[in-house]
Amino acid sequence: MVQKSISSYLDLESQSPFNSDELIVNIGNTYVAMLVRLAGRQDASAFELFEFDKATDNWYNIFYSVRTQSKILDRSYNNTKIFYNLPENVLVPSEKFSEDAEESYLNMLHGDTINEAIQHDVLDINPPIVNIYRIKRVLYEMVRTNFMMVQPKHLYTQLLENNLGGYNLHSGISLKIQFYNKCILLLLLKDGKLQFIQSYSCLTQDDMLYYVLSLLQQFHIQPAEVKVELGGQIDTRSQYYDYIKKIFTNIQFEIVAPEKLMKELQENYPPHYLSPYFNLA
């Protein structure tokens, strides 16, 4: 069942059916988030978050339900960015990349599969890296039929460009943790260099803790060495957050600047809660 869990709108009705505002769509295996950003500005005019259980829903039914519930999709957009938060990817140095080898790279890491669309992004960083990923064919077709003028990109690509490109220099060990519906994303950097990035499906909060602790063990990292940045759907009043505070001593939050959020969302959610969606691009 697809549930619209969060929604907020400004005056969508006053906009033309085909408008120049930017539609940003973030798609994971358990959620679809849509954000409308005003043309030429950073503030938003609409936001919707749909959550579901991918184990019991297929992408055709998911998109049918999203479209019937969505006010954002009552109109079309000439500028749509799609970000896929999907776990089956491989990062390859640009000099080792070949389109002919894309499927082989993915099969070696994630196993053989059928009915998948294979895509790749060239990261705008130095040295350049190519992110190869695959998407369920039905999801790929649903995106093509439900959105216009699509610019697709993998979520990891955007996160790595945001954290490795330009002047975003990190010293020491930093761990970025983003929380989604039944999903966690981990990005580990050491002295500004990528060590690890991956998202995981999680049925319980214990699963999330397991992946965090397993990452520390895998890279032989002591929690006291790590600067942790939390963002997304984590309740700071929960026992789960208390566990995280017991593990790590250096914690900060990725927040959304107030001018980017509608007043209703500012009043109802802490500034970190929607950061994975509003800070994406």
Per-residue pLDDT of the chain (281 residues; tens, 9 = 90+): 899 999 999 865 555 555 678 999 999 999 999 999 987 677 899 999 999 987 666 899 999 999 999 999 998 898 999 999 999 999 999 999 999 999 999 999 999 988 899 999 999 998 889 999 999 999 999 999 999 889 999 999 999 999 886 555 568 999 999 999 999 999 999 998 999 999 999 988 899 999 999 999 999 999 999 999 999 999 999 999 999 999 999 999 999 999 899 999 999 999 999 999 999 87
Q: Look at residue 66 and tell me if it is in a domain.
A: yes
Q: Look at residue 67 and tell me if it is in a domain.
A: yes
Q: Look at residue 238 and tell me if it is in a domain.
A: no
Q: Look at residue 211 and tell me if it is in a domain.
A: no
Q: Which domain, by its residues, includes 79?
A: 3-86+139-155
pLDDT of residue 168: 55
**The two three-digit tokens of residue 208, written as one number:** 């999330």
**The two three-digit tokens of residue 128, written as one number:** 């350049």
Distances (CA, A) of 99 to 11, 85, 122, 185: 45, 22, 12, 27
121 beta partners: 131
Q: Look at residue 10 and tell me if it is in a domain.
A: yes
Q: In what order do the strands lie in the sheet with 76-85?
A: 3-9, 44-51, 31-37, 18-28, 76-85, 150-154
Q: Look at residue 268 and tell me if it is in a domain.
A: no
- Please report, for the domain that includes residue 23, its CATH number: 3.30.420.40
Q: Look at residue 227 and tell me if it is in a domain.
A: no
Q: How many domains does the chain have?
A: 1
Distances (CA, A) of 77 to 7, 10, 15, 146: 19, 16, 11, 11
Q: Look at residue 78 and tell me if it is in a domain.
A: yes
